[in-house]
């Protein structure tokens, strides 16, 4: 049983462009709000939470809707194609608004972009499990997350070379718009979604993998109480580690500029180190997770991420050791992300992949609604020095939640166990 790496990479192009956009968004939008429109950190936190509020409402809706859609292009690809195209063009309104200092145009552009992204993020993530059988999803998710990290690296390089200090905001946004548009056009050309999904279903039936659903549901087709309990604690864990991690990612450009006096390029390079750590880790973590289990790998990742954030809070000014912190943070976040969505989907019936993907994002987005507002309020009251203690507290809290999770771990077949080294 081998993972089709080529197919997974092609499917991962969507996640690569989404991750690239969010790298741009988290880095540039707070700077535009503070430097162009001169809003407080609390107000900036509210604005940064808008995308998560929209995602909280729309992503489960579009995830469930894509479960029910049936077209000759597939269930997910129509959402991915339309959403990416709309995002690529409408995002150019944002730097245009910054250039003319029009808050109305800024809000309009931001609103269109966030609606388009919310429309296709769940379908884009659900495409991988649609074409991948359950035992291989951690390995496939490792590649998907690797693609996401590559997207983040590319966009941070774009910011480093085309940053606002030299070229204004438009150059970076235009380059990222092209970066999003070209891969999705390639996906439209290369992905026969219905064929790939049918092949995965046939293989699952041959290996009797779908019989695992009987362990998750009762006779009246409801989720068993013990499975629901595990799912609840795991979703809380997802919310807590996103509260910690997102606080750092969305506020680091301001923290770097105002707390430790870094330039835009230096701040981008520091974040780049986290992406390097993640990229180096994704494939080994995917293989190791199949050996020791998804839950243990997540727990290791949470411990490493907590340590990285906690110790980063001791620096009063920039130190080269901070690169080590972000390298560890990249590893920890990779260990968490490779396994978290597959654990949620392991507790889902095959027909509910989109809905459970939406459920995963409901909790991750809820956290990202709360954390910019809460952290922004603390920045106004205490200062940016609270960033890393805040982040480490919530990541540590997620570890406690994972202790109560007893379902969704790896379930390897004997055939896969014998061929584990052949997957990559």
Strand partners, 110: none
Give the pLDDT of residue 121.
83
For residue 389, being part of any structural domain is answered with yes
324 contacts: CB under 8 Å, gap ≥ 6 = none
One DSSP character per residue, 52-63 reads: HHHHHHHHHHHH
Give the pLDDT of residue 208.
67
For residue 420, being part of any structural domain is answered with no
Give the pLDDT of residue 211.
42
For residue 248, being part of any structural domain is answered with yes
Asked if residue 82 lies in contact with residue 145, where contact means CB atoms within 8 angstroms, the answer is no
* Cα distance between residue 264 and residue 259, in whole Å: 13
Give the pLDDT of residue 349.
59
Give the pLDDT of residue 421.
37
pLDDT in tens, the chain (424 residues): 678 889 999 999 999 999 999 889 888 888 888 888 888 777 777 777 777 777 777 877 887 788 888 888 888 999 999 999 999 999 999 999 988 889 889 989 998 999 898 888 888 888 988 888 877 877 888 888 788 888 988 998 898 888 777 788 899 999 999 999 999 999 999 999 989 888 888 887 777 665 444 455 544 556 678 888 888 999 999 999 999 998 998 788 778 877 777 777 777 788 888 878 888 888 888 888 878 888 999 999 999 999 999 998 888 777 788 889 999 999 999 999 888 888 888 877 555 666 777 788 788 878 888 888 888 889 889 888 889 999 999 999 999 999 999 887 765 443 344 343 333 3
Give the pLDDT of residue 217.
53
* Cα distance between residue 148 and residue 167, in whole Å: 26
Phi/psi at 148 (5° precision): -60, -40
For residue 422, being part of any structural domain is answered with no
Q: How far is CA 345 from the centre of its chain?
A: 16
For residue 418, being part of any structural domain is answered with no
For residue 424, being part of any structural domain is answered with no
Please give the tally of structural domains in the chain.
1
Helices (H), 293-352: 294-312, 321-346
Asked if residue 236 lies in contact with residue 402, where contact means CB atoms within 8 angstroms, the answer is no
The vertex-379 CA angle with 375 and 381, nearest 5°, equals 115
For residue 121, being part of any structural domain is answered with yes
Phi/psi at 406 (5° precision): -130, 15
For residue 416, being part of any structural domain is answered with no
The whole domain housing 297 covers: 5-208+215-411
Domain of 83: which CATH number? 1.20.1250.20
Hey, what are 123's tokens?
Answer: 């379908």
Give the pLDDT of residue 395.
96
């Amino acid at each position: 049983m081998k993972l089709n790496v080529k197919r997974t990479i092609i499917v991962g192009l969507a996640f690569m462009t989404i991750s690239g956009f969010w790298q741009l968004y988290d880095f540039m939008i707070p700077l535009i709000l503070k430097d162009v429109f001169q809003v407080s950190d609390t107000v900036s936190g509210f604005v940064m939470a808008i995308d998560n509020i929209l995602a909280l409402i729309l992503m489960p809706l579009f995830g469930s809707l894509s479960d029910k859609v049936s077209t000759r292009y597939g269930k997910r690809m129509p959402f991915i194609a339309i959403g990416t195209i709309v995002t690529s063009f409408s995002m150019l309104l944002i730097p245009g608004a910054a250039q003319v200092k029009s808050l109305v145009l800024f809000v309009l552009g931001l609103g269109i972009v966030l609606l388009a992204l919310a429309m296709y993020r769940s379908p884009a993530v659900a495409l991988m499990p649609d074409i991948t059988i359950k035992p291989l999803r951690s390995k496939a998710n490792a590649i998907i997350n690797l693609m996401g990290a590559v997207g983040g690296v590319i966009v941070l390089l774009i910011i480093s070379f085309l940053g606002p200090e030299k070229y204004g905001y438009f150059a970076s946004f235009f380059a990222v718009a092209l970066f999003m548009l070209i891969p999705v056009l390639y996906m439209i050309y290369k992905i026969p979604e219905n064929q790939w999904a049918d092949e995965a279903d046939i293989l699952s039936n041959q290996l009797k993998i779908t019989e695992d659903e009987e362990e998750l549901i009762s006779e009246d087709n409801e989720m068993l109480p013990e499975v629901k309990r595990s799912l609840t604690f795991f979703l809380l864990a997802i919310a807590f580690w996103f509260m910690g991690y997102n606080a750092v990612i969305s506020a680091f450009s301001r923290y770097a500029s105002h707390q430790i006096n870094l330039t835009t390029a230096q701040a981008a390079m520091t974040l780049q180190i986290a992406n390097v750590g993640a990229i180096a880790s994704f494939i080994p973590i995917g293989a190791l997770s199949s050996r020791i289990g998804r839950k243990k790998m997540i727990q290791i990742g949470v411990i490493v991420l907590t340590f990285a954030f906690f110790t980063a809070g001791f620096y009063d000014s920039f130190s080269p050791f901070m690169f080590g912190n972000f390298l560890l943070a990249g590893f920890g976040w990779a260990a968490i992300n490779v396994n978290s969505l597959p654990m949620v989907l392991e507790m889902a019936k095959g027909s509910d992949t989109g809905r459970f993907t939406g459920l995963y994002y409901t909790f991750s987005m809820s956290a990202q609604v709360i954390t910019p507002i809460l952290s922004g309020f603390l920045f106004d009251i205490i200062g940016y020095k609270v960033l890393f203690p805040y982040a480490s507290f919530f990541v540590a809290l997620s570890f406690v939640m994972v202790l109560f999770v007893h379902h969704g771990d790896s379930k390897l077949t004997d055939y896969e166990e014998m061929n584990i080294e052949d997957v990559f």
